[in-house]
Amino acid sequence: MKQVKQRTFLVGALVLLLVLGVTAFLIRYFVSGRDWADFAANGHAFTDGRLSAGQVLDRSGAVLYDAASGTYAEDRTVRKATLHAVGDRDNNISTSAKAALRDRLIGYNILTGTTTGGHKLYLTIDAALNRIACQALDGRKGTAAVYNYETGEILCMVSTPAFDPADPPEIRDGDGAYEGVYLNRFLSSAFVPGSVFKVVTAAAALENIPDVLERRFTCTGSTDIGGETITCYHTHGEMDLYGALASSCNCVFAQLAVELGSDTLRQYAADAGLLEGSAVSGIPTAAGSFDGGTDGELGWAGVGQHNDLVNPCAVLTMMGAIASDDAVRPRLVAKETSMSGLSLLSGERTERFAVWKASTRQILREMLRNDVTAEYGQEMFGELAVCAKSGTAEVGGGQTPHAWFAGFLDDPAHPLAFVVLVENGGFGVSAAGSIAAQVLQAATAESGE
In the chain, the amino acid numbered 151 is T
From 293, 286, 81, select the one nearest 191 (Cα to Cα): 286
From 147, 161, 186, select the one nearest 81 (Cα to Cα): 161
C-beta of 120 vs 236, nearer to Zn ion:
236
C-beta of 300 vs 408, nearer to Zn ion:
300
Q: Find the part of the chain contacting Zn ion (CB under 5 A) among 33-41, 206-214, 218-226, 298-306.
A: 218-226
The residues in 354-383 that bind Zn ion, with binding defined as CB under 5 A, are: none
Q: Find the part of the chain contacting Zn ion (CB under 5 A) among 153-161, 205-213, 215-223, 384-392.
A: 215-223
Phi-psi region of 16 (alpha: psi -120 to 50; beta: other; left: phi over 0): alpha
Instruction: Return phi, psi of residue 57, to 5°.
Output: -125, 160
C-beta of 129 vs 219, nearer to Zn ion:
219
CB 392, min distance to Zn ion, A: 13
**In Å, what is the CA distance from 293 to each residue of 87, 89, 262, 302, 307?**
40, 45, 8, 11, 10
Using CB under 5 A as the binding rule, whether residue 249 contacts Zn ion is answered as yes
Asked whether 137 and 144 are in contact (CB, 8 A), the reply is yes
CB 226, min distance to Zn ion, A: 18
CB 155, min distance to Zn ion, A: 36
Binding residue for Zn ion, selected from 97, 105, 146, 219, defined by CB under 5 A: 219
| Distance linking the first and last C-alpha atoms of the chain | 83
CB 230, min distance to Zn ion, A: 9
Strands of 416-422's sheet in order across: 154-160, 142-148, 416-422, 402-409, 386-393
CB 241, min distance to Zn ion, A: 13
CB 248, min distance to Zn ion, A: 8
DSSP codes, 30-52: HHHHHHHHHSTT-TTTEETTEE-
C-beta of 164 vs 259, nearer to Zn ion:
259
Binding residue for Zn ion, selected from 51, 132, 251, 409, defined by CB under 5 A: 251
The residues in 229-248 that bind Zn ion, with binding defined as CB under 5 A, are: 232, 236
CB 279, min distance to Zn ion, A: 38
C-beta of 429 vs 442, nearer to Zn ion:
429
CB 238, min distance to Zn ion, A: 11
SS3 readout for 155-205: EEEEEECCCCCCCCCCCCCCCHHHCCCCCCHHHHCCECCHHHHHHHHHHHH
Element (H, E) at 82: none
Using CB under 5 A as the binding rule, whether residue 225 contacts Zn ion is answered as no
Length of the chain: 449
CB 250, min distance to Zn ion, A: 6
Q: Find the part of the chain contacting Zn ion (CB under 5 A) among 14-22, 53-61, 250-258, 358-366.
A: 250-258
Element (H, E) at 379: none
C-beta of 220 vs 350, nearer to Zn ion:
220
As a whole number of angstroms, the distance between CA 235 and CA 250 comes to: 10
Using CB under 5 A as the binding rule, whether residue 198 contacts Zn ion is answered as no
CB 251, min distance to Zn ion, A: 4
C-beta of 370 vs 441, nearer to Zn ion:
370
As a whole number of angstroms, the distance between CA 90 and CA 183 comes to: 14
C-beta of 236 vs 369, nearer to Zn ion:
236
In the chain, the amino acid numbered 113 is G
C-beta of 119 vs 236, nearer to Zn ion:
236
Q: Find the part of the chain contacting Zn ion (CB under 5 A) among 35-43, 216-224, 319-327, 419-427.
A: 216-224
CB 231, min distance to Zn ion, A: 8
Count, residues near Zn ion per rule CB under 5 A: 5
C-beta of 107 vs 194, nearer to Zn ion:
194
As a whole number of angstroms, the distance between CA 435 and CA 183 comes to: 21
Q: Find the part of the chain contacting Zn ion (CB under 5 A) among 166-174, 224-232, 299-307, 308-316.
A: 224-232
**In Å, what is the CA distance from 328 to each residue of 147, 186, 320, 324, 356?**
10, 18, 8, 9, 15
**Which residue ranges make up the site for Zn ion (CB under 5 A)?**
219, 232, 236, 249, 251
